[in-house]
A = this chain, B = another copy of it.
């Protein structure tokens, strides 16, 4: 998606250690209009999957998941990383490594909002190693839900996430696919 690629090229910052900082439009400050366009694009790409729910992980997945859900006319559930007091004692919980936090984090979903038989579209900001998304997949499977697709705003193809998701046999779409950040230069797939 050209608009997102251009924004990453102009405003993304490579911090080293494979970290791409997009805090000015995705992660801390959010460009609402860009997120809406990304959500529309995801909705078009995944329109035929018959998803019944969008699933993401707090915090930075919320914005693209919400706009995607809006364009698909679906509710969105975001997995929590700490259990709020409003959540029942019995939950679906898994652990996933966080790249930007440098430690394992919990991903928690209440059984109230993910039911057996639901068709789940996962949307997140990054597809890197795929660890967070695989955590969401485990939670959905624990609930007896079926994952029908995975969408990420930004894929770093050199971190292996797509291969890690391959066994799921479902469509995986990214709106900006980065093949290299070597030497401080961002190269997109196909350019």
Contacts and interface: CB of A to CB of B under 8 A. Distances in A.
A32 B76 contact: yes
A112 interface: yes
A44 interface: no
Contacts of A184: none
A15 to B, nearest CB: 6
A27 B54 CA distance: 14
Contacts of A77: 28-30
Nearest to A102: B85
A1 interface: no
Contacts of A36: 70
A69 interface: yes
A159 interface: no
Given A32-B70, A58-B58, A63-B66, A27 B86 contact: yes
Interface string A79-122: 01010111100000000000011100000011011000000000
Contact of A21 (B31, B69, B73, B86): B86
Contacts of A63: 62, 66
Contacts of A113: 23-24, 28-29
Contacts of A30: 62, 66, 69, 75-78
A170 interface: no
A10 interface: no
Interface of A: 15, 19, 21, 23-25, 27-33, 35-36, 54, 58-59, 62-63, 66-67, 69-70, 73-78, 80, 82, 84-87, 100-102, 109-110, 112-113
The 7 A-B residue pairs with the shortest CB-CB distance, nearest first, are A32-B69, A29-B113, A32-B70, A21-B86, A29-B77, A58-B59, A62-B62
Given A29-B77, A85-B102, 14 more contacts: A15-B85, A19-B85, A23-B86, A23-B112, A27-B84, A28-B109, A32-B54, A35-B66, A36-B70, A59-B59, A59-B78, A66-B67, A82-B101, A84-B100
